[in-house]
Chains A and B, each alone.
Chain A
Amino acid sequence: MSTLKLAAVLGLLSAGACASAPQQSAVRSPSLGVAVTSEELAAWDISVPPSGAGLPAGGGTVRDGAVVYEQKCAACHGVKGIGKPADPLAGGQGTLASKTPLRTVGSYWPYATTLFDYVRRAMPITNPLSLTNDEAYAVSAYVLYLNGIVAEDARMSAQTLPQVKMPNRDGFIDDWRPRVGK
């Protein structure tokens, strides 16, 4: 308030001050954002939606994934994804409606793309972003295989991963969009 008054007084003294007087109406942006090139975005945009848009080139097999898993995942997620100390990755199908539900990639996760997305962005926990895209595909394939979702000779890639139908894909109720009518 006092600042505005002061600005008004200054405005009387100097016509030039009017142009920079504080605005009380709509908040205006100083527009300091710098344009980003598509090359920059490609390096930053690591999120993968269920459609698979943005999945990188390359691929990996269940067999290759078993090797990666043994070296880089088993210490936390256990042999064949049974868990401890970190979350179990396999098993639990058919338990969700029981008194002791076991939520794993196989029993609970609705989209296989999320598996690749998370492995690539966050795993292994002590050395994230260290896996190659081929390794991330391969270990995704292996975890899906442990859950009986893909065959032993499966290969995951930008083409095959989004096609994987997860057992619990229809197990979720959207609580938001019905509220806002979308």
Chain B
Amino acid sequence: MSQKEKPLERRRFLKQGSAVLAGAAASALAPESAAQNLAGEPWERVYGAAFAGYGERSRFEQPVVRHMVRPYGDLAPGSGAALSPIESLEGIITPSSLHNIRSHSGTPDIDPRRHQLILHGLVARPVRFSIESLSRYPMVTRTHFLECSGNSSRALAPQPLQLPAGAIHGNMSCSEWTGVPLRILLEEAGVLPQAKWLLAEGADSAHMSRSFPMEKALDDALVALYQNGERLRPEQGYPVRLLLPGWEGNMNVKWLRRLKATAEPMHTKDETSKYTDLLPDGRAMQFTFEMGVKSVITKPSSTMALPRGAIYEISGLAWSGAGRIRRVEVSADGGATWTDAALTGQERPKSFVRFRLPWEWKGTETLLQSRATDEKGQVQPARREWQSQYSPGNTYHNNSIVTWAVGADGSVKHVYA
């Protein structure tokens, strides 16, 4: 942005119709009259609660919980997904307790003293590592999103579902991960030249397994032990998980117990019958690892209600499996015109970016959309454009533009546009 631009313009107000918010109106945002009433509230007159060993949020925030998707019901309550309530969250990092979960056979209760990670196959020295020994390796810390390849499949229902944003697009989250670069462990085992792939296998009761290329293993793959500063949560793979930044969530194998170097992919159940992308002609794309450039407005979003004619901040998330987010544009007219949003975190590759844009809603029907562009120049596709590439039965890799419709009554609805 040019330094010559005036401060008001730098605020990048989203023009809706002709009017741009005048500077004077902004002062109306600051409430001032309530201060006097605060004195003497009950909590100011009693001694506060004692310290807790492990913190808990305010009881007033208890309704913010994950959205459950349990396709098999009580038969397999740990199979399916718990989607992050992105409509209630801000910033970039997803709280560990609200991180999305996608599991195939529930969450195992693993004793870290007994867990082993075996590295074998086409290596000179097959080895196993205890968690205690892995904890003594050099580590790196990085912020990365994880997105299930099936995220936003609910946005492919015949009619737009009227659910909160997280219940549609929340099968993704972003954390600070700390762990051992996989490259170090591979060097120790001595990968043979003919090894081109690795099989990763979990210690859950599904023994979930995926093949991934050696190129990724030697690039930025992590054997992660920590999430947001503490040991991994059980539902995120405690005590150790694979992290393949930017790639299909399913490949980031949790409860990692085995890595096998191979010449060819293993063609596991989850890289053949699942996580393959059906095309209109009946063939399917296989090994589509990278998650596409994508964004979603979280505030305002579906099922919310806006008071009439007021100033709002549009806020949302953008990410790309290819690297950094370069740009997020927002439209308040169904994609006819676009305005650049301000970005936070765009220096981080394969991470959530928070975008924001002040917006004056004038009380008329409005179609809100966001469109992300990554550093490779890839642009988030329109819904119809995305759909035309695939079979109607494909539910993976939906990174198409999301539309929220604000009605004249202030209700926000999910629509297809």
Contact = CB atoms under 8 A, between A and B. Distances in A.
Interface of A: 27-36, 40-41, 44-50, 76, 85-86, 96-101, 103, 105, 108-111, 113-114, 117-118, 121-122, 125-126, 128-129, 171-177, 180, 182
A96 B278 contact: yes
A100 to B, nearest CB: 7
B73 interface: yes
Interface stretch (B45-53, B199-207, B406-414): B199-207
Contacts of A173: 279, 283-286
A118 B271 CA distance: 12
Nearest to A48: B266
A46 to B, nearest CB: 7
Interface stretch (B91-99, B180-188, B362-370): B180-188
A171 B286 CA distance: 10
Given A32-B129, A49-B266, A100-B393, A109 B273 contact: yes
Nearest to B206: A122
B399 interface: no
B250 to A, nearest CB: 14
Interface string B315-358: 00000000000000000000000000000000000000000000
Interface of B: 71-73, 75-76, 79, 104-105, 118-120, 125-130, 133-134, 136-138, 181, 184-185, 187-189, 196, 199, 201, 205-209, 213, 215, 257-258, 260, 262, 264, 266-269, 272-273, 276, 278-289, 391-393
Contact of A111 (B129, B206, B267): B267
A35 B273 contact: no
A171 B262 contact: no
Contacts of B120: 36, 41, 44-45
A114 B268 contact: yes
Contact of B269 (A32, A35, A40, A114): A114
Contacts of B392: 99-101
Nearest to A37: B126
B282 A101 contact: yes
B136 A33 contact: no
Contacts of B272: 108-111, 114, 172
Q: Which 5 A-B pairs have the closest CB atoms?
A: A33-B127, A97-B282, A96-B282, A32-B133, A176-B287
Given A33-B185, A85-B73, A180-B215, A97 B280 contact: yes
Contacts of B199: 47
A27 B181 contact: yes
A29 B184 contact: yes
A35 B126 contact: yes
Nearest to B213: A176
A176 B273 contact: no
A131 B366 CA distance: 58
Contact of B267 (A29, A30, A49): A49
A128 B207 contact: yes
B278 A101 contact: yes
Contact of A32 (B104, B136, B215): B136
Given A41-B118, A125-B105, A171-B283, A47 B188 contact: no
Nearest to B117: A33
A111 B268 CA distance: 9
A105 B258 CA distance: 26
B189 to A, nearest CB: 7
Contacts of A109: 272-273
A36 B128 contact: yes
B385 to A, nearest CB: 19
30 contacts: A29-B184, A29-B185, A32-B137, A33-B127, A34-B129, A35-B125, A44-B258, A45-B260, A46-B201, A47-B209, A47-B260, A49-B262, A50-B267, A76-B72, A96-B282, A96-B283, A101-B393, A103-B393, A108-B272, A108-B273, A111-B272, A122-B207, A128-B207, A172-B283, A172-B284, A173-B285, A175-B285, A176-B213, A176-B288, A177-B287
A167 to B, nearest CB: 11
B184 A27 contact: yes
Contacts of A177: 287
